Chains A and B, each alone.
Chain A
Amino acid sequence: MTHQKSRLLGFVSLLNGPQTMGRGWLFWGSFAVFVMLAYLAPTHLGIKPYKVNEFLVSAFLAASLSILWGYGGILSLGQAAFFGIGGYTFGVVGINMWDATGNTHLAFLAGILIPTIFAAIIGAVMFFARLKGVYVAILMLVLSLLFETFMLQTANPDVYSIGKAMLGGSNGLRPASAIPSTTFGWGENVAEFNGRRIEFYYFVLTLLIAVYLGLRCMLNSSFGYLLVAIREDPDRTATFGYDVRLIQLAVFCVAAALAGLAGSLDTARINRVDPELVFGVSANIMVVIWVAVGGRKDLTAAILGAITLEWMFLWLTTSGNPEYAQIVMGGILILVMLIAPEGIFIFLGNRLGRLYAHSAAFISRQEDS
């Protein structure tokens, strides 16, 4: 009994731990309220699922860059490369397996695994060569742009097709109508999550909460401590006997898996994957903007950054002057880097935490006297 209790406490402390912001009743209380509101949003608050589904998918990508750059200290300017690989893999496997199985289990799995394997190869070469941080950042961008250029010239279906799927050059993966939505289950008992519908919203929201809590546990485990140690001082961490390169490779793979998951979900959401949208410069820079503006060194802040900025971007593009949307995004990035370099939500969180601590201290002092 006591043993079980201590395990439960251990789990709670992993959720609370020092590497992620937010602990105690105030945070978890507002977290619960927030989650409840999110579940009620489409039915009671008039939020349109087909609009916000995109933001939820972006949150996975933001989480991926946050753990890589914010926690591991490895900046990648090409995180969308894994997003794109995941998206293409989901599409290709989905198109080919649909007739045989009627579900997307394999496509979903491959959409996560293939980017991870790819990251393991690239990462092994980069980290074991002890490539400097800036070079890693730009090399990833270059890789993403190389994928874009390659995919753009795959218009000829005789050469560039994998089974029934044609890569389709600048038109994106074809036949687009055959790209399945995320579907789980066998035979008659299948659950299909159409990307424009409310089911997909509930599915992705639940997945996001699960991934969020899981990542919190990971970041507060000894692995998370190691990540932060490497970010702060890789040489000192190495003198403690840890293989820095191996841990960098591990976090690179985890981040790639998350980005691949986001890519799979996005392909399933719109039944489309297009080289310029997934591998291009603006796809890559947007991820960096979400995470840098929200706050790279905290998972919650990065996810909130992605959702709010995507919301704002949609509002800007639909409210008359779409051409200014990217200028505003870039401007926000520059301003935040100058004024609150740690990111908006970390800045606000710290303020709030200090305020709360002050008032708590004030109350306890009053009780004393």
Chain B
Amino acid sequence: MNLGTELFGFAFQYIDSVAFLILSAIGLSIIFGMMGVINMAHGELMMIGAYVTAYSIQSGVPVPIAILFAGIGAGIAGIIMERLIIRHFYKQLLSSLVVTWGISMVISQLFLVLFGPTMESLRTPFSSVKILIGGDIGFAILGAQGFSALVDTSGRLPPGVESYGVYRIIMFVVAVLLIAAIWALMRYTEFGGRARATMDNPKMANALGINTSRIYAYTFGLGSALAGIAGGMFALTASITPFFGAAYTVKAFITVVVGGSANFIAGLIGSVLTLGGVQTLFTNMFSVYIGFVGMIAAAFLILLLMPTGISGFIEHIKARSK
């Protein structure tokens, strides 16, 4: 394997892990940034999205629309959760943590009772399209036919050639598009203006006639919908269980905390680029477990150096240079 192939492999893994982190954290980051509520049921909203996607695809809905349904389903679930329970816990950080943890347990156990321990796995879209690199080929994107012509009888690729799936790259593109869309929503729409005003100073915003309670509900719904979309996209790559989301909640939380809430989009970008890099590096050098430990250690170090997260640190530097 030459250096170019290795670098491409590394870059591919990096993009993959960044995409996973963005998708799992973006909904949580909006909710935390806006309302200061850590939603421990975030993973369960993703799980709801995964189940909606799975059932939609099984009943013949095309994949992109199934993922859209996942967003709508999780968004509705989120708004119900917010109106019934979470609105009583604003500004009570620890209580909101505990109560959303309770919600997460109820939802996942309920899904276990309703749908059983596992779902039939979904086929990853474009799984027949492969990106090949290295060896005598150099670089090629092949469909199923070209790929089967290339491999030998026991399904092995020629020496030095590595193959990668296309869906991971699509996930990355979707993640980037979602960030851009959220940025545009916050920057250019009336809802975005009201939301930012509420985030800055809820009392003043309320005094100026913004219905902050409604803004909170919509924002929570938006964050939940993003979680649902992420869950729908992950459902196509992993097996779906009622406890599917729990693993993502922790990673999403770490990503959001490292990003900080001063400017959640800039924070999120900075955070996923750093943590994704650390995770990829350590996973490559040691194991998946060490990769995760390394990510947590990095998050801890960043918090020690920048207690308000990466975005808080950026704001701090900006304020000093003025």
Interface residues of A (CB under 8 A from B): 69, 75, 77, 129-135, 137-139, 141-142, 145-146, 149-150, 153, 281-282, 285, 288-289, 292, 323-324, 326-327, 329-331, 333-334, 337-338, 341
Residues of A within 8 A of B254 (CB): 142
- CB distance B113 to A146 under 8 Å? no
Residues of A within 8 A of B293 (CB): 146
Most buried by A among B85, B99, B289: B99
Most buried by B among A288, A326, A334: A334
- CB distance A330 to B109 under 8 Å? yes
Q: How far is the CA of A131 from the CA of B257 in the complex (A)?
A: 12
Per-residue CB contact flags for chain B residues 88-106 toward chain A (1 = under 8 Å, else 0) read 1100011101110111011
- CB distance A333 to B98 under 8 Å? yes
- CB distance B106 to A77 under 8 Å? no
Which residue of chain B has its CB nearest to the CB of A324? Answer: B113
Q: Does B176 contact A (CB under 8 A)?
A: no
CB pairs A–B below 8 angstroms (27 shown): A69-B94, A129-B304, A130-B307, A131-B303, A132-B307, A133-B93, A135-B303, A138-B97, A138-B257, A149-B292, A150-B289, A281-B246, A289-B102, A326-B105, A327-B105, A327-B106, A327-B110, A329-B105, A330-B106, A331-B102, A331-B106, A334-B85, A334-B102, A334-B103, A334-B106, A337-B99, A338-B85
Most buried by B among A132, A146, A281, A323: A281
- CB distance A145 to B250 under 8 Å? yes
- B residues 272-308 touching A (CB-CB < 8 Å): 289, 292-293, 296, 300, 303-304, 307
* Number of residues of chain B lying within 8 A (CB) of chain A: 32
Which residue of chain A has its CB nearest to the CB of B38? Answer: A134
Q: Does B216 contact A (CB under 8 A)?
A: no
Residue of A134, A281, A282 touching B94 (CB-CB under 8 A):
A134
Q: How far is the CA of A324 from the CA of B292 in the complex (A)?
A: 33
Q: Given A334-B85, A338-B85, are A288 and B101 neighbors across the interface (CB < 8 Å)?
A: yes
Q: How far is the CB of B99 from chain A (nearest CB, A)?
A: 5
Q: Given A150-B289, A288-B98, are A323 and B307 neighbors across the interface (CB < 8 Å)?
A: no
Q: How far is the CA of A264 from the CA of B267 in the complex (A)?
A: 43
Q: Given A149-B289, A333-B102, A334-B85, are A77 and B109 neighbors across the interface (CB < 8 Å)?
A: no
Interface residues of B (CB under 8 A from A): 38, 85, 88-89, 93-95, 97-99, 101-103, 105-106, 109-110, 112-113, 246, 250, 253-254, 257, 289, 292-293, 296, 300, 303-304, 307
Q: How far is the CA of A326 from the CA of B95 in the complex (A)?
A: 20
- CB distance A323 to B103 under 8 Å? no
Residues of B within 8 A of A323 (CB): 109, 112-113
Residues of A within 8 A of B38 (CB): 134, 138
- CB distance A134 to B97 under 8 Å? yes
Residues of A within 8 A of B93 (CB): 133-134
Q: How far is the CB of B282 from chain A (nearest CB, A)?
A: 14
Most buried by A among B93, B94, B254: B94
- CB distance B98 to A341 under 8 Å? no
Q: How far is the CA of A198 from the CA of B102 in the complex (A)?
A: 35
With A141-B250, A337-B89 known, 11 other A-B pairs at CB within 8 A are A129-B303, A130-B307, A134-B38, A138-B97, A139-B300, A146-B296, A281-B246, A288-B101, A292-B98, A327-B105, A327-B106
- CB distance A285 to B105 under 8 Å? yes
Q: How far is the CA of A77 from the CA of B99 in the complex (A)?
A: 12
Residues of A within 8 A of B99 (CB): 333-334, 337-338
Residues of B within 8 A of A338 (CB): 85, 88, 99
Q: How far is the CA of A341 from the CA of B94 in the complex (A)?
A: 12
Q: How far is the CB of B44 from chain A (nearest CB, A)?
A: 11
Which residue of chain B has its CB nearest to the CB of A69? Answer: B94
Q: How far is the CA of A77 from the CA of B293 in the complex (A)?
A: 18
- CB distance A75 to B98 under 8 Å? yes
- CB distance A330 to B94 under 8 Å? no
Residue of B95, B105, B112, B253 touching A138 (CB-CB under 8 A):
B253
Most buried by A among B94, B98, B106, B110: B98
Q: How far is the CB of A121 from chain B (nearest CB, A)?
A: 13
Residues of B within 8 A of A134 (CB): 38, 93-94, 97
Give 3 nearest A-B pairs by CB, closest first.
A330-B106, A333-B102, A330-B105
